[in-house]
Structure 1
Amino acid sequence: MRVGAVAWIGLAGLAVAMGIGRFAFTPVLPLMQQEGSVTLVQGGWLATANYLGYLAGALICIGWHPGPARAVRWGLLSIAVLTFAMGLTEGFWIWLILRLLAGAASAFVLVGVSAWAMPRLALAHKKTWSGYVFSGVGVGICATGVICLAAGSLAFGARSTWICLGGVAAVFALALWLPLRGDDGHEVPVTKSRAAPLRGEARLAALCYGAFGYGYIIPATFLPALAREVITDPLLFGLIWPVFGAAGAISTLCAAAFLPHHSARRLWIRAQWILAAGVIAPVFTINLYVLLFSALCVGGTFMVITMAGIREARRLGGTSAARLIALYTAAFALGQILGPPTVSLFHGGLAAPSVLAAFVLVASSLALGRGASAPETSE
């Protein structure tokens, strides 16, 4: 398979997995609130179920090791079916199960794409093309936001929007099925070496990565819902999520070009300060410009921090890099799971959880800064 096809398949897979399987609920939530089918607190628990499913799916992949191409194919098909089901069913508890399963399916696709595409790009000496693959996250978020923006402006209900998103996921699942099926069993061999124990610095970095997961998830879950509370025009409050996704896609491409020549930890720290500013900005005042600023800050840094964090894990982990990345994944997922219940703890208010999230991000940046002057080895 040509390297260009590998990059495009990876991009499309992540666009569906993250844009629909993981984060479609964020822009659909205002429509569901408008219909009275869920409250903001219930929305927080639905989001938590999805993040819990993501953690479970990642842990299953770590223990089971499914074939990467097979994991992507069945994960995408599952996302399509589960998203369709959101529009064909009613009831909080049914939706809770569907979002849980969609989170698990998204993890299968993310892990599968990473294990399938990255070694092929490396073998073709195109490591920097990983930016194109991971820009699929932002592309998917942006595309989902545009679909929900159109749904809001055309007065489509949440049910019709879920069915539309399920149809989009099904189209991509079917389009990628044959190319990936033809690649089953053709895995790129990787060199294995004995893993060394993880150092304290590596464990601290994993804790900071978990803090990043907690800090970014409040705006990543509730920003469009917050926009709906202060902006009545759906064409305006619906802009927030496409801007978030576009910032994510563009910043990913920039980070892929920037990272090979700069300190991953320093980039992580600087991006996290910007993220903290975006998280706390709506606490002081809420209007369209502040919300767009927040969308740019959060959307433009979350994938940069992800890429910088994984690169730092590879540096700190050495021969135990895979184990440290798994620890990062678990810490990040746990951070995400803790975020939405914080909103429920404050009875649906977003100000206090946002301040807490910003504080956690600042503390994480300061902790990372203590080791920022440590020498970095090239990969």
Structure 2
Amino acid sequence: MTKSSGRMGRLAVGGLLALAVGLGISRFVYTPILPFMEIGLGVSKSDAGLIASANYLGYLLGALLGIRQSLPGSTRSLFLLSLIVCAVTTIAMGLTDSFELFLLIRLLSGAASAFVMVFGSALVLSRLAAEGRSRLSALYFAGVGVGISVSSLLIIALENMGIGSQGMWIASGFLSLLFTIPVFLFVPAAPEPSGGEAASLPLQYSQTLKALILSYFLFGFGYIITATFISTLVRQIPEVQWMQSIIWLVVGLGAIPSVALWSGIASRLGNSRTYAIANLILAIGVTGSVMGEHPLILILAAVLLGNTVIGLTALGLVEAREMAPHHGRQILAVMTLAFGIGQTIGPGFAGFLYDYFGNFIVASLLAAAGLVIACLLTWGLDGKKQGNLAPPSD
């Protein structure tokens, strides 16, 4: 192994740990902890949806703010600070039982998670591409699945020890702090971008680009209901209540190889067609999560959820960058906005429908229908470049 290879390997591992903290734990550990919050704190389904939506609204606002060039501080300092905020806000969730504080904490946590993604991509992915090591981006994105899996094992262990939701939040936050330590060592500062090529013409929204943006909104709406409530769904079925923590572990394990898998498929079929297929497969998983009570059906739904979401996120950004190659930052902001609106609406919408119908079936079927529409919107798009699955930089 050359010195450069070792350096890039450590960089990818540092990025993996950062995504494990910023997304796998800070953003998604809410899902396996939620059933215990409902039991111990009396959180209703509608309140649970609003708490989740607050986090996704924070992610949306943080992502849009993170794209701005005029933020104070270096990319690395903002990145590391955001990791610490992710850990601290996770701990803070275990120090209160106030619904209003839950909303505020999750809003801040969501913004910090977005900063981790935006600045982590700038520090890790662009450098991997510059060194000709873009294949390591799959290792970087595996961090989301690693964070989900490790935090799921932690929740299972704490449940067996009789520890409630507040202890679960605190332990997850300290796990995040532990994961953050190597990131300081493995992800050094990178040269600040000069701004790249300035586009001489405004971004043109072609019909194909509009279709992709709409599909990304539908993807954000379509995945998030199941991603937020799948542990709660399992808990409601007496025969499979034993799976309530394990099911989120399955999601995490499915997410770890997802970008590498969909990257290989995209290299053969193209980004846009692969993106359409992945939306359809995710729709099957979302439907299966509410239409079947057999353990194997629920496990399959969890695998499909974990295996498609991260790949779809990357594929959508790649396809958008190919359609607007001279407006990379602008189209990233637009795609983030569309995705963020969809995933912000989803949990609250599902929570209120649950209060009305007494189940998540209607909300989940509407989400699945949205994913099918996303598939139809993008099936015929002609992505002429094959692209790398790493989100592009200017």
TM class by shorter chain equals over 0.9
In the TM superposition, 1:223-234 aligns within 5 A as: 223-231=230-238
Q: What percentage of aligned pairs have identical amino acids?
A: 33
* Contact 1:16–1:172 (Cα < 8 Å) also in 2: yes
Structure 2-normalised TM-score?
Answer: 0.90
Structure 1 residue corresponding to 2:30, chosen from 2, 25, 36 = 25
SS at match of 1:155: coil
Structure 1 residue corresponding to 2:277, chosen from 251, 270, 282 = 270
Distance 1:195 1:293, change over 3 A: farther
Offset from partner CA, 1:191-229 (integer Å, 9 cap, x none): 324154233221221111111000000100000011111
Q: In structure 2, what residue type is equivalent to 1:199?
A: Y
Corresponding residue for residue 313 of structure 1: 320
* Contact 1:231–1:237 (Cα < 8 Å) also in 2: no
Distance 1:26 1:378, change over 3 A: closer
Structure 2 residue corresponding to 1:8, chosen from 13, 20, 26 = 13
State yes or no: 1:303 paired with 2:310: yes
Structure 1 residue corresponding to 2:363, chosen from 333, 353, 367 = 353
Alpha-carbon deviation of 1:71? 2.0
Q: Let me know the Cα RMSD of the aligned residues.
A: 1.9
Alpha-carbon deviation of 1:175? 3.3
Gaps of 5+ in 2: 388-394
Alpha-carbon deviation of 1:184? 3.7
Structure 1 residue corresponding to 2:374, chosen from 364, 374, 378 = 364
Distance 1:105 1:94, change over 3 A: same
* Contact 1:227–1:288 (Cα < 8 Å) also in 2: no
Q: In structure 2, what residue type is equivalent to 1:291?
A: L
Corresponding residue for residue 241 of structure 1: 248
Corresponding residue for residue 251 of structure 1: 258
Corresponding residue for residue 136 of structure 1: 143
SS at match of 2:378: helix
Alpha-carbon deviation of 1:39? 1.6
* Contact 1:51–1:100 (Cα < 8 Å) also in 2: yes
* Contact 1:152–1:234 (Cα < 8 Å) also in 2: no
State yes or no: 1:173 paired with 2:183: no
* Contact 2:145–2:256 (Cα < 8 Å) also in 1: yes
* Deviating more after overlay: 24-33 vs 168-177: 168-177
* Deviating more after overlay: 268-277 vs 343-352: 343-352
* Contact 1:213–1:332 (Cα < 8 Å) also in 2: yes
Structure 1 residue corresponding to 2:157, chosen from 136, 142, 150 = 150
SS at match of 1:191: coil
Distance 1:287 1:325, change over 3 A: same
Q: Which whole-Å CA distance do the structure 1 matches of 2:96 and 2:41 have between them?
A: 15
* Deviating more after overlay: 97-106 vs 141-150: 141-150
Alpha-carbon deviation of 1:265? 0.7
Q: Which whole-Å CA distance do the structure 2 matches of 1:234 and 1:68 have between them?
A: 44
Distance 1:301 1:195, change over 3 A: farther
Distance 1:188 1:324, change over 3 A: closer
* Contact 1:46–1:96 (Cα < 8 Å) also in 2: yes
Q: Which whole-Å CA distance do the structure 2 matches of 1:234 and 1:286 have between them?
A: 11
* Contact 1:210–1:335 (Cα < 8 Å) also in 2: yes
* Contact 1:120–1:188 (Cα < 8 Å) also in 2: no
* Contact 1:217–1:336 (Cα < 8 Å) also in 2: yes
Alpha-carbon deviation of 1:347? 3.8
Q: Which whole-Å CA distance do the structure 1 matches of 2:291 and 2:85 have between them?
A: 41
Distance 1:70 1:244, change over 3 A: same
SS at match of 1:318: coil
In the TM superposition, 1:89-168 aligns within 5 A as: 89-168=96-175
Alpha-carbon deviation of 1:78? 0.6
Alpha-carbon deviation of 1:255? 2.4
* Contact 1:230–1:287 (Cα < 8 Å) also in 2: no
* Contact 1:198–1:320 (Cα < 8 Å) also in 2: no
Q: In structure 1, what residue type is equivalent to 2:316?
A: G
Structure 1-normalised TM-score?
Answer: 0.93
Offset from partner CA, 1:106-125 (integer Å, 9 cap, x none): 01111011011111101110
Q: In structure 1, what residue type is equivalent to 2:385?
A: T
Q: Which whole-Å CA distance do the structure 2 matches of 1:139 and 1:189 have between them?
A: 33
* Contact 1:128–1:256 (Cα < 8 Å) also in 2: no
State yes or no: 1:52 paired with 2:62: no
State yes or no: 1:198 paired with 2:204: yes
Q: In structure 2, what residue type is equivalent to 1:146?
A: L
* Contact 1:41–1:347 (Cα < 8 Å) also in 2: yes
Structure 2 residue corresponding to 1:86, chosen from 82, 93, 96 = 93
Distance 1:351 1:89, change over 3 A: same
